[in-house]
Amino acid sequence: MSDSLHDFLTGGVTGLDWPGLLLVLLAFVQLTIFAVTLYLHRSQTHRAVEFHPVIAHFFRFWSWLTTSMITQEWVAIHCKHHAKVETEEDPHSPQYKGVRNVFLGGAELYRAARQARGDIERYGKGTPEDWIERRVYTPHANLGPISLLAIEIVLFGIPGIAMWAIQMMWIPFWAAGVVNGLGHYWGYRNFQSDDASTNLVPWAVWIGGEELHNNHHAFPRSARFSMRRWEFDIGWMAIRMLRFFGLAKVLWVAPHLNIRPNIHVPDMETLKALLAHRFHAMTDFYRSVLMPTLREEARSTGKKLRHLKPPRRIRHSLVNDGHWLKPDAREQLHRWVSQRPQMQLLMGYHSRLAALLEARSHDAMERVRQLRQWCQEAESSGIRVLQEYAARLKGYALAKS
């Protein structure tokens, strides 16, 4: 074998050593993650950000080249996930399909969801339909990864095959498996949203901010996924950098919540903040009303708190009356609540507040009146934790940006 052929096979035309190849690989997979989280997810699916046409098309080209995913299909499947979350129709809910199946077989579930063409048409509206989408990206989706394999062999030689293989596994493992699977099963929750979504960790730059999955489900239209000061969303950092250069336009970001002191009755500012931060209000109720009540019951009965708590997934569903639970689990939740008169009373207050916030009424003053009545009754209940919650609720306001 000639030296030139040997050099080409071992290093391609670039001749990079292993540290150089690793840096290139990390750059490539990070670009792929950005194409998914910034373009497919935040821009195309939730319309939270608009990119300059050159940037938008680069992301579209890169996702075709490195994943073979079709924009309309990805958007439709994710939109259906939000519309049918934690139900049998959810394309990848660990609650129904099993966390092991979603974690290990997320790519297969994605391919199965692609076959529901009615759903693709229904949920994938508004995605690109230009000439290159109709003639290249959609009908020749698999040509992207095949072209990438050829390019990387030329650039990096035989090591390029290994780099290509890792790239082909990156999105199926991290996005389809980890985020869709573990992101609805394991982690911490800032918001008791109407699903089982979790934040996996406060930061994980290699999955672009998608690790903050509970934050995203609480505010799906937000271009920024981080909600607490110690959380870091690298995708939001990239958006801000592109915006600085005039290459991105942020359409909506979830506002932060502010608590005003010494507010005696709820006002319009309270209502606006509650409507924007409904999940925060429900989370606050769970943490500052329901859990202290359970702890007090544990002290008065001499039992340990863990013996009083319902199973984990049922406990999390206290915030929404278990509407996404299976019938037997929902019955278990209701039975658990009915055995505790104090808890049953508090859940009544919880349900009334949730109904007030979820109502579709356009009469804002009437809703403020109902909110005032709810706070008045809560403060007259004689239940200390409920009184303190109502007093804090009245001070809700959106933080000034």
What pLDDT is recorded for position 322?
A: 65
Determine the angle formed by the axes of helices 143-156 and 53-67, rounding to 10 degrees: 80
219 has a pLDDT exceeding 80:
yes
Alpha-carbon distance of 118 to 123, in angstroms, equals 9
Q: Is the CB of residue 342 less than 8 Å from the CB of residue 335?
A: no
Mean pLDDT of 329-343: 84
Residue 392, pLDDT score:
95
1: confidence class by pLDDT, cuts 50, 70, 90: low
> What's the rounded Cα separation, in Å, for the pair 10 and 17?
9
Residue 14's Cβ-count burial label (10 Å; 0-12, 13-18, 19+) is middle
pLDDT at 194 over 80: no
Q: Which two tokens stand for residue 309?
A: 């708590």
**What CA dihedral angle connects 205, 211, 217 and 218, to 10 degrees?**
-80
Q: Which amino acid is at 191?
A: F
Averaged over 41-52, what is the pLDDT? Answer: 98
- Kindly state the average pLDDT of the residues 224-247: 96
Percent of the chain with pLDDT strictly greater than 70: 93
| CA dihedral over 245, 250, 254, 256, signed as positive or negative | positive
pLDDT at 70 over 90: yes
Least confident of 126-130, 152-156, 278-282, 382-386: 278-282
Cα separations in angstroms, 61 against 67, 147, 171, 239, 342: 10, 12, 16, 18, 58
Position 55 pLDDT exceeds 60: yes
What tens digit of pLDDT does each residue of 270-298 get? 999 998 888 889 889 988 999 899 888 87
Given a contact cutoff of 8 angstroms between Cβ atoms, the answer to whether 142 and 63 are in contact is no
3-32 pLDDT tens trace: 677 677 788 899 999 999 999 999 999 999
Which residue matches tokens 């489900």?
217
How many Å apart are CA 382 and CA 335, to the nearest integer?
25
pLDDT of residue 188 exceeding 80, the answer is yes
Residue 374: the pLDDT is 97
Which pLDDT band, with edges at 50, 70 and 90, does 251 fall under?
very high
Confidence of residue 316 (pLDDT cuts 50, 70, 90): low
pLDDT value of residue 90: 92
Q: What is the pLDDT of residues 98-118, one digit of tens each?
A: 888 888 888 899 999 999 999
For the purposes of burial, counting CB atoms within 10 Å of the CB of 43, is it exposed (0-12), middle (13-18) or buried (19 or more)? buried
Task: Return the SS3 of 72.
Answer: helix
pLDDT at residue 138 in the model: 96
**Per-residue pLDDT, 285:** 92
> Which element (helix H / strand E) includes 276?
helix 268-276
* Mean pLDDT score across all residues of the chain: 90
